[in-house]
Structure 1
Amino acid sequence: MLPGLSMRRMYGSVVEKNGGGTSSSLPIVNAEDASSSVVSKSRKGSTIASGVVNLANTIVGAGMLGLPGAFGGTGWLAGVFLIVLSASLSAHGLVLLSKAACLTGRPSSFYSLALASVPGYTTLIDAAVALKCFGVATGYLITISDSMVNALHHMIITGDPARDDRFIASLLLSRHFWVVGAMASVLPFCFYRTLDELKRLSALALVFVFMLVGMIVAYANGMADPCGGNEGGEETCKGDIVPFTNIPSTLTRLPIFVFSFTCHQNIFPIVNEMELPSQRRLNIVICSSIGFALVVFSAVAIEGYRTYGSAVRGDILLNYPENKQVTFLRICIAFMLALHYPLQLDPSRRCISSLVEGIIKWWRQKKIAASIPKAISGECLDGLAFRPEEVEESLDTDNGEPTIDSVYIQMVQNNVKIQQADDNDSKGITPDDRLFYNITFIFLLLSFTLATIVDDLGVILALVGATGSTLVSYILPGLIYVKVYPHKDMSLVMAYAQLLLGVVIMPLALYFILTKRVNH
């Protein structure tokens, strides 16, 4: 740090104190810079209904297929307690983040809130959220391909080698073919810039959710035979139904409950895009979305567990007999996950763009700081919008000499003004399209490559649930809120409780997950 230069890290404010004790501050990267990066042409005007549909669709994804299996590891009474607790804590985390976003101002993001609360960890937080969403999105591609292979296997395979060995049959039963197909199906939806533009896709995806719930309830209540085609009948098809199991088994399943309700990365575009985003309106969106997800998840988990008991598998669909109804449902789930993919890509893209913006700002600041001696001596500065005659405007009031602080401020002010003017003239304050498309294409390419070479992300997604989901759902909402909220009241106490719970859950869940894998 140069002598006399007072600034709040790389992303804070440069502050000059003159002889009169007044101060002037210049934000180098403010909240708007951070969150209006390459991804957002945010238009404020989305409705409560649009926010509910998009947030609910972010929650209700492939994670619900694992909830019956989670009940199998916890027992039905412990499972009901954990699913209600997870929904409540998730809703509370969303409320904390929405309040913090309103306190710091729109447009908001994890980056802008971290900048205001824990500026030393902005890069780490953005990277964690981006990786978490990338892992989930890639898992969607794998699940889509597996669902289509399983569905078509029932439709195509006849037992006749002459027909089953045909090229077209082999192609349609290839995982790699359907990874390509999954990528092609999600591609048209990946270039929307706001969540509000995805509301129709989200509504369509919810139709497939209702179909899944309907089938699970039908099998649980005897409308269809859940053990059809099973040689051992109900004796091997169903297991015991118990209220509790044991603590290690319950803690191993805990990340599944946390993961299922994780949607916190998408609360920020909802806040940014909503018309009149009062806390009351945001609370309606949050409670409606979480309430809807809780009803759906409870129906899937309880009815699925009641159908197969302790014999329920990690993916509930694997328990059901191979018939036309289940085959059709697998295809519906594949379409549902294709519509969910953009809801994971969007927040990841926003975080990646914030990281890129931070690197660009850091480089510009480093260049300016290195040129301060030349500016004081009146030399020409390459690439900087600072004129030597403006040194006179930055003279110290006591001795008529330019100070490092004053020159620095003048240089940054001129560069920021010109940069903003260029943006206004050439882009109408819109994000950089090239960076937007580059990030999107790189995300899609990496996701496609990983889904092609890896056929089982079960362990990775379990670790994502224990780390990324706990971080996003519990730790960050609590930490950010206690840092930016000025009043000592009950909401602050609850924020501390949320933070502490996340800090406890993460290592415990990781320990039991890794212990179980080692034992196996």
Structure 2
Amino acid sequence: MPSVQSRVSVVVADITKLDGVQAIVNAANSSLLGGGGVDGAIHRAAGPELKRYCEHEFQGPKRCPTGDSRITPAFNLKNCQYIIHTVGPVWHGGSKSEPALLRSCYQTSLELATENNIESLAFPGISTGVYGYPLDLASEQAVDTVLNYLQSHPMPSKVIFCAFAEENAESLRRALDAAWSKLSSTLCPMSTSIPEESSIRSEVSIGKAPVIIERDRRGTILSGWSVMANSMIGTGVLGLASAFASSGWALGFVLMAVAGFLALFSLHLLNVLSMRFPDRDVSYYTVAEAYAPWSKWIVDITIVVKCFGVAVSYLQVAGDVLSSVVIYWSSTTMDPFTVRALFITACGLLMAPMCMAKSVKSTFINNVMAVVTIGFCVILGVVYSDVTAGDDSAGVPSDSSIMSVLAKLPIFIFAFTCHQNLFLTANDLKHRTQKNLDIIIVAAESTAWALYLPAVIFPYLTYGSEAKANFLLNISLSHIPVQIGYVALAVGVLCSYTLQVVPTIRSLMVLVTRDKEVENPTKRRVLFYSIAVLCQLAPIATAIGVRSLGVTFSFVGIIGSNTISYIMPSFLFCTMYRRDTTLRKGPVYVISALLLVVSLALVPLCVGSLIQQIVVGKI
């Protein structure tokens, strides 16, 4: 069998006019009826017979699922005999199995070529156009999949990567250069080795072709704890004292303990779900796809609501503290509302360029900044407290009501939310076991409790019913460390601002397009930038219009946090039992079902109470 290197090449050409190949691959959409880009060019060159053939031979609205391939005659294409149609994934940041699906496109195309005795095959760039897949990442996965296949298969004897521009060709050449050195050791008969325990084999079965992806698991319990603790500890800690102002000490600690326990329990449910797929990467999206495919859209709606709300809260916090500092430092006669609005607008516009990215990378510094600034604020709350000035009664405050308690209940839910990163932690864990995952979540919540308790006790003892949704605003600005804390808090929340806006844009794109490709590149760019601008102007406008940070905490807590922390984990866990009848329904299932019912019932109760409290001017 010829060497792998001699069988692979890169050219810059129009794939419809490429000579010397028996088949070309079409980057199609799932309808197989033509579209824009390469797909449209191939359909035009092949003629209307191709569309009629696809309509007749492949039934259903999705004639070819994402990641799978279909083969047809070439019809009017005179330079080849076959067209292999494959449907690449739309890039969502890598959270929806895009790498596995893209590899599957190449794998299934190669298998069809082998089955049909095709000796030469040309690939275009798959998913790198309007589907938004990062070029270098797509090139690396294309090259790795093709080379791995060719090592064990004599056919096709020639594979051409056909790039439409020199930039794409250079990316493929770089990927090939990197792959040759990696392959040189595996091609040597004496270089066999036993995979280390840290190797993960992620399998996605698309049609009849399972694609195996191998990567290193490097996560430890310590790194998993840091991710989950950083995710849990956020601006919600600032509002816990104000939540106690409505419930009092006894009921407040009961609600806080219940919220913490249910968060821990639902995290355990997600751990169980992740262990159902021990050898593959998992996410909310992939688990929903396995047990309740119709519910996948709920994931994106939840992400939009939660990330949008958190982005608004970040701008509110930044606007509140920066405007307060400037007004204190200066002798401005400008209206405080106007100063706050200007700072919110400036902060939003300052972060706008970074929010135009299609994904966010390297969040370590952001996480550190956020935790450090929140921790510093808690320290300020302890240092400048006066435990004799606030409320030390155990009962519910006399001016509270069921409505006021329900309106603030979501703040407790918001404070313990970190579930969006549980699957990411599980995917990276070197020794993924139920025990290790449970250790991580217990350690993370224990860390949160260590920070939350002083953040509740000292501000509430000091300010009582006057505790604000951001207790730092209760502390006098006459202290220099407090002024530093104000500015540091603004910097900390803005460092994390893009981590909320970018996922909002990505998920809203999925909802608007119904997870389908917009074939026209110009229309897709216009749509993307329109949504991106909307997702940056809307938080600014909302943060200016909604003065109360507590309203934001409550709304995001009941709609976003409640869904991603309680509703989705319990729902997916229960549907797992419905899909797998061999499982026995024990106490965990019963508690999960009760959590689902209660969390669903909380939505109208808390939203109604929140609206009522806003109307009567209590919030």
TM-score tier (shorter): 0.5 to 0.7
Structure 2 SS opposite 1:359: coil
State which drifts further: 4-13 or 299-308. Answer: 4-13
State which drifts further: 440-449 or 82-91. Answer: 440-449
State which drifts further: 74-83 or 282-291. Answer: 282-291
Instruction: Note the C-alpha offset of 1:254.
Output: 0.8
Q: Identify the residue that residue 313 of structure 1 maps to in structure 2.
A: 468
Q: Identify the residue that residue 78 of structure 2 maps to in structure 1.
A: none
Give the number of aligned pairs.
421
CA contact (8 A) 1:154 1:327 kept: no
Q: Identify the residue that residue 19 of structure 2 maps to in structure 1.
A: none
Shift in CA distance, 287/194, structure 1 to aligned 2, threshold 3 Å: farther
Shift in CA distance, 110/355, structure 1 to aligned 2, threshold 3 Å: farther
Instruction: Note the C-alpha offset of 1:100.
Output: 1.7
Instruction: Note the C-alpha offset of 1:89.
Output: 1.0
Deviations 1:254-282 (A, max 9, x none): 11111111222222332334434333332
Pick from 281, 303, 326: which aligns with 1:107? Answer: 281
Shift in CA distance, 440/84, structure 1 to aligned 2, threshold 3 Å: farther
CA contact (8 A) 1:478 1:498 kept: yes
- CA RMSD of the aligned region, Å? 4.3
Alignment of 1:3-42 (within 5 A): 32-33=97-98
Shift in CA distance, 189/460, structure 1 to aligned 2, threshold 3 Å: closer
1:340 paired with 2:486, answer no
Q: Identify the residue that residue 414 of structure 1 maps to in structure 2.
A: none
Q: Identify the residue that residue 259 of structure 2 maps to in structure 1.
A: 86
Q: Distance in 1 between matches of 2:409 and 2:339?
A: 34
Q: Distance in 1 between matches of 2:60 and 2:344?
A: 56
Task: Select the structure that is richer in strand.
Answer: 2
1:123 paired with 2:301, answer no
Q: Distance in 1 between matches of 2:319 and 2:216?
A: 35
Q: Which amino acid aligns with 2:478?
A: N
Q: Identify the residue that residue 364 of structure 2 maps to in structure 1.
A: 199
CA contact (8 A) 2:244 2:252 kept: yes
Deviations 1:227-261 (A, max 9, x none): xxxxxxx6xxx456333345333222211111111
Instruction: Note the C-alpha offset of 1:515.
Output: 2.2
CA contact (8 A) 2:259 2:413 kept: yes
1:74 paired with 2:229, answer no
Q: Distance in 1 between matches of 2:251 and 2:383?
A: 24
Shift in CA distance, 69/151, structure 1 to aligned 2, threshold 3 Å: same
Pick from 566, 573, 585: which aligns with 1:481? Answer: 573
Q: Identify the residue that residue 97 of structure 1 maps to in structure 2.
A: 270
TM-score by length of 2: 0.58
Pick from 57, 60, 65: which aligns with 2:230? Answer: 57
Q: Identify the residue that residue 500 of structure 1 maps to in structure 2.
A: 597
CA contact (8 A) 2:308 2:539 kept: no
Q: Distance in 1 between matches of 2:526 and 2:447?
A: 36
CA contact (8 A) 2:414 2:557 kept: yes
Alignment of 1:276-425 (within 5 A): 276-324=431-479, 325-345=481-501, 347-348=503-504, 351-352=507-508, 355=511, 359-360=515-516
CA contact (8 A) 2:315 2:347 kept: no
Deviations 1:371-421 (A, max 9, x none): xxxxxxxxxxxxxxxxxxxxxxxxxxxxxxxxxxxxxxxxxxxxxxxxxxx
Q: Identify the residue that residue 44 of structure 2 maps to in structure 1.
A: none
CA contact (8 A) 2:234 2:371 kept: no
Q: Identify the residue that residue 346 of structure 2 maps to in structure 1.
A: 180
CA contact (8 A) 1:241 1:309 kept: no
Q: Distance in 2 between matches of 1:220 and 1:451?
A: 32
1:214 paired with 2:214, answer no
CA contact (8 A) 2:407 2:554 kept: no
Pick from 307, 313, 338: which aligns with 1:139? Answer: 313
Q: Identify the residue that residue 266 of structure 1 maps to in structure 2.
A: 421
Shift in CA distance, 173/350, structure 1 to aligned 2, threshold 3 Å: closer
Shift in CA distance, 187/71, structure 1 to aligned 2, threshold 3 Å: farther
Instruction: Note the C-alpha offset of 1:90.
Output: 1.1
Structure 2 SS opposite 1:322: coil
Instruction: Note the C-alpha offset of 1:101.
Output: 3.2
Structure 1 SS opposite 2:496: helix
Deviations 1:147-183 (A, max 9, x none): 11112222223xxxxxx46x9x99x946324532355
Q: Distance in 1 between matches of 2:67 and 2:250?
A: 53
Instruction: Note the C-alpha offset of 1:283.
Output: 2.1
TM-score by length of 1: 0.68
Q: Identify the residue that residue 369 of structure 1 maps to in structure 2.
A: none
Instruction: Note the C-alpha offset of 1:509.
Output: 1.3
Alignment of 1:232-271 (within 5 A): 238=390, 241-245=393-397, 246-271=401-426
Q: Distance in 2 between matches of 1:446 and 1:44?
A: 39
Q: Distance in 2 between matches of 1:39 and 1:308?
A: 52
Instruction: Note the C-alpha offset of 1:294.
Output: 1.8
Shift in CA distance, 492/129, structure 1 to aligned 2, threshold 3 Å: same
Shift in CA distance, 11/471, structure 1 to aligned 2, threshold 3 Å: farther
Structure 2 SS opposite 1:96: helix
**Ranges in structure 2 where 5+ consecutive residues have no aligned partner:** 1-30, 32-54, 69-85, 91-95, 102-130, 138-214, 520-524
Shift in CA distance, 120/137, structure 1 to aligned 2, threshold 3 Å: same
Higher relative contact order (CA 8 A, sep 6+): 1
Q: Which amino acid aligns with 2:447?
A: F
Q: Distance in 1 between matches of 2:222 and 2:534?
A: 29
Q: Identify the residue that residue 417 of structure 1 maps to in structure 2.
A: none
Q: Identify the residue that residue 3 of structure 2 maps to in structure 1.
A: none
Shift in CA distance, 11/283, structure 1 to aligned 2, threshold 3 Å: farther
CA contact (8 A) 2:348 2:536 kept: no
Shift in CA distance, 497/62, structure 1 to aligned 2, threshold 3 Å: same
State which drifts further: 299-308 or 2-11. Answer: 2-11
Q: Distance in 1 between matches of 2:502 and 2:344?
A: 23
Q: Distance in 2 between matches of 1:442 and 1:102?
A: 39
CA contact (8 A) 1:86 1:257 kept: yes
CA contact (8 A) 1:76 1:244 kept: yes
Instruction: Note the C-alpha offset of 1:295.
Output: 1.9
Instruction: Note the C-alpha offset of 1:217.
Output: 1.4
**Ranges in structure 1 where 5+ consecutive residues have no aligned partner:** 15-25, 158-163, 227-233, 365-433
Shift in CA distance, 130/354, structure 1 to aligned 2, threshold 3 Å: same
